[in-house]
Structure 1
Amino acid sequence: MAQQPRIDVETRTDEVAQSLTSEQVQRIAAALGQQGVWFATPAARTSDAPRPDYEWDLVGDKPHQGRTATGRANVYLAEGHSALTRPLILADGFNYGPSDLSELWAHFNAPYQKGTPGFLDQLRAMGIDVVLLGFDQRHTFIQANAAVAVSGILRTIEERQGDAPLVVGGVSMGGMITRYALARMETERIDHQTDKYFSYDTPHLGAWIPLVLQQLAYLHESLQPRQDGPGQAELIRSPAAQQLLWGWVEDENYSGPVTTASELRQEFLDDLRRVGWFPMRPYKLGLANGIGDGTGLDLPPGTPVFDLNAGPLQLTAKIQPDLGELQNVGTVRFDAPVWTSATSHVPAFDGAPGGTLDSWGRIADVVGLPIQDRFRNSCFVPAISAIALARDPFQWQSELYLDLRDLPKDETFLDAFCCDTANSPHSAVSKPLVEWFLEQLAGW
């Protein structure tokens, strides 16, 4: 039986803090950077999205844990359409706060090749109406936002003229939200009238944010507590993060298993099984920003990325080592007291093939640390997670570097998938992915 991945911390931060003067704490907090939610993607604010033909306010069709989620949709009709006729629903993904549907449009319609229309404009030229689905709290429970997706699907059916089937899916967590929504509708015998489901770099088996960076977010927050706004670790502690991440820690002092640290992930996976795991009726398509030949990133396991020496604070953080026992991933020294973090039986996720996130780069920029360009980006959604490799969500990481080019059909929960030709940024729009997806829709 495989050893359970875990993390161990020596010297709790509250013990360290007790040995520091208030002036030292302030100096350390200043060295660690400013307030703000770590790992959240700020809006670009450069959108030139067209005005939608319709805007819908949406309320979840049922509450989850006593709370009803809300959201909205922007509808962009296809060329020549005066009403919703052939709808494709694209749900927004994981982030902090409300969706910005104009930015979502700008992202997916940005030119990926000179002289070629954007992805969404190509859909509209094919006679496909685009419905962008957003959520007022992207970081809340997946089941809660799935209820918003159910309302969006039902509103689309109500507004549609004719009986053309729907295409429903989403980017990143949006693919999980719509996966759950469609499966739940089938279980409850609600006709979703969906012919195709798609997921765009969705972490079907889980996503990865380096454990040591999660800890540093908590550590920063403990030394510089939240005041008027959310703290650095707000996104990491959110329900959505707990449900999506393969490995999660609850604070900077946590020692124990990392795959089962959150009950919310186990509860969500149990709930997903209850509704059928995947929707059965639609043809299921998957797009992965990771390369399909098993080639990873140039991130040698255990390599130091940060090495800060700022007065009373010395900080080291490393690329995730590959397995082993009590492998050091981070050290923070406050004059004499030392906080160290070590992982056991955790594979080299950072360098795995997959859609990348500039997790290391973002933290370096916030804290003001020097960083080599090659260390800025690490794996966020492994390719085998995006193509829904048919494995247990807790027991799949040994195949992170699997060659997917000749994968048998029964080795994935999807009906068809496409990997990018390079390990591209998570949710990036590329020619190989767009052209493959448009081919899948050509006969619809």
Structure 2
Amino acid sequence: MSKPVVSIWGPLPGAQPASAQAAPWDTKWDLHNGTAWVFYGSSGQRSVKRPVILADGFAPGASNGQLLYAGLENGDYPFISTLRNNGFDVVLLGFADRSASILDNAEVAIECIRRTIADREGAAPLTVGGFSMGGLVTRYALAKMERQREQHETSTYLSYDTPHHGAWLPLGVQAFAHFVKEHWGGANPLLSLYSDLVNSPAARQMLRWHLGTGAEATLDVAAGQHQERTDFLNALERVGDWPMIPRLLGVANGTGTGAGNSIPAGDDAMAADGPELAGGLYTQGGGLQTVARMEKTGQGPVEIRTRNFPELDGAPGGLFPKAPFLEDAANFGMAAMLAKIVNKEPAELTHNTSTFVPTVSAVASADIDDPAALYNKVDRERSELHDFLCATTNEGHTAMTRELGEWILAKLQEA
């Protein structure tokens, strides 16, 4: 499997920067609260001619142009060079803070669109989109420009495994991260990283269900949407929900057939039994279920329960990314890593990852609250996109694959 474009985790806190490498881009634009790395379609160019703007996704801290380029170019499919070889100019859009509000980063995207138009030679229309959260950022940016009657000169909008109808992070994992931070975060910044990421503005806007603390709770499927998500959806609706001028394209890293990833519902996911911290996490099932049990030595246990949730962990969709610097830990795996740091002994890990962006969210065809829609063939007629492609297998979130990359290239060549 190719490595994901977006690293949910970002660099290890306190890690030293990698040794200097030659910049693979032709030029760089400094933007307010962001950066654009520009790759011209042919040698000798001094301005863009057929621009494709692609925005970075959600993660802590600032975008890294080298890493973003490497994720797109050095995996299963050399996406950047393929676009360039076919006459397109690629503008990779990064943000000073990838966990900041989507609305704030949309202003960076608008500035980038304006800069691209000003730099462009000729009148070829733009393609604008992004990976994961970057697709939401650019979706809002284009719609806002239209609402303000500003010409964005964009003919194609493209989203890559974007959570149009919300992302999923197991509620037990969220609670466990907060519990660890509350009790041990002061001793080690790594023990606060996951909790801080979950409680960042962008995460609160993207996650369909959000927990802000590790306190005891029973959460019903109808509840749990953070006010920031509600506010974001209302802001999106005020600008028309979608841009109306471009054709709307999207790809999903999950299957469109209804075939899930074989993670069973209600199964043990992680267990810790150490001198400081004990408890367990369980994959999401329906009915009334405990999804997390946590206990600090000398205190009573805390439980997180859910009621009437879909079996989301095993649903078709892009899988939660792994953290290469933490033994490839994903979401359940990161909880195990936190427990290992606290207890100074390994936790038992049964399932490392789960679905992060369900397919029906990536192709905007149904709500992820709907169990039937999650596990059935995608209804193309219900999609809010004009056209889309789902992956043949459930793969890593934002993984650049030949299957998806070639489809995108073919669609851009049609324009």
TM above 0.5: yes
* Aligned-pair identity (%): 37
Which structure is larger by alpha-carbon Rg, 1 or 2?
A: 1
Matched, 1:362 2:331: no
Q: Residue in 1 aligned with 2:355? A: 379
Contact in 1 for aligned 2:336/2:348 (Cα 8 Å)? yes
Distance 2:275 2:76 in 1: 46
Q: What letter is aligned with 2:396?
A: P
Aligned residues: CA RMSD: 2.3
Pairing of 1:121-132 with structure 2 (within 5 A): 121-132=81-92
Question: Aligned pair in 2 of structure 1 residues 289, 47: CA closer, same or farther (>3 Å)?
Answer: farther
1:306-343 CA-partner distances (Å, limit 9, x unpaired): 2222135321111112x202x11121233562211211
Deviation at 1:143, TM superposition (A): 0.5
- TM-score, scaled relative to structure 2: 0.87
Deviation at 1:87, TM superposition (A): 0.4
Matched, 1:42 2:11: yes
Matched, 1:53 2:26: yes
Contact in 2 for aligned 1:74/1:101 (Cα 8 Å)? yes
Q: Residue in 2 aligned with 1:191? A: 151
Q: What letter is aligned with 2:336?
A: A
Q: Residue in 2 aligned with 1:163? A: 123
Contact in 2 for aligned 1:284/1:415 (Cα 8 Å)? yes
Question: Aligned pair in 2 of structure 1 residues 154, 132: CA closer, same or farther (>3 Å)?
Answer: same
Distance 2:97 2:63 in 1: 8
Deviation at 1:58, TM superposition (A): 1.2
Deviation at 1:214, TM superposition (A): 0.5
Q: Residue in 2 aligned with 1:268? A: 232
Q: Residue in 2 aligned with 1:208? A: 168
Q: What is the number of residues matched between the two proteins?
A: 385
Distance 2:151 2:358 in 1: 33
Distance 1:237 1:380 in 2: 16
Distance 1:239 1:254 in 2: 23
Q: Residue in 2 aligned with 1:83? A: 47
Deviation at 1:394, TM superposition (A): 7.5
- Equivalent residue in structure 1 for 2:259, among 279, 295, 300: 295
The residue matched to 1:224 in structure 2 has which SS? helix
Deviation at 1:363, TM superposition (A): 2.9
1:233-269 CA-partner distances (Å, limit 9, x unpaired): 1111111001000110111116355744411010110
1:35-93 CA-partner distances (Å, limit 9, x unpaired): xxx9624389599674322211112xxxxxxxxxx111111111243321110001000
Distance 2:368 2:73 in 1: 35
Question: Aligned pair in 2 of structure 1 residues 73, 249: CA closer, same or farther (>3 Å)?
Answer: same
Distance 2:54 2:271 in 1: 41
Q: What letter is aligned with 1:245?
A: L
- TM-score, scaled relative to structure 1: 0.82
Distance 1:119 1:417 in 2: 18
Contact in 1 for aligned 2:216/2:302 (Cα 8 Å)? no
Pairing of 1:17-416 with structure 2 (within 5 A): 40-42=9-11, 50-59=23-32, 70-80=33-43, 81-112=45-76, 118-226=78-186, 231-232=192-193, 233-253=195-215, 255=217, 256=219, 259-311=223-275, 313-321=277-285, 323-325=286-288, 327-333=289-295, 334-335=297-298, 337-357=300-320, 358-368=330-340, 369-371=346-348, 375-389=351-365, 391=366, 395-396=369-370, 398-404=372-378, 407-409=379-381, 411-416=382-387
Distance 1:102 1:47 in 2: 10
Question: Aligned pair in 2 of structure 1 residues 396, 46: CA closer, same or farther (>3 Å)?
Answer: farther
Question: Aligned pair in 2 of structure 1 residues 311, 228: CA closer, same or farther (>3 Å)?
Answer: closer
What are the ranges of 5 or more consecutive residues in structure 2 without an aligned counterpart? 1-6, 321-329, 341-345
Contact in 1 for aligned 2:268/2:280 (Cα 8 Å)? yes
Q: Residue in 2 aligned with 1:430? A: 401
Distance 1:267 1:397 in 2: 25
1:135-159 CA-partner distances (Å, limit 9, x unpaired): 0011111000001100000000001
Contact in 2 for aligned 1:39/1:362 (Cα 8 Å)? no
Question: Aligned pair in 2 of structure 1 residues 165, 312: CA closer, same or farther (>3 Å)?
Answer: closer
Question: Aligned pair in 2 of structure 1 residues 328, 196: CA closer, same or farther (>3 Å)?
Answer: same
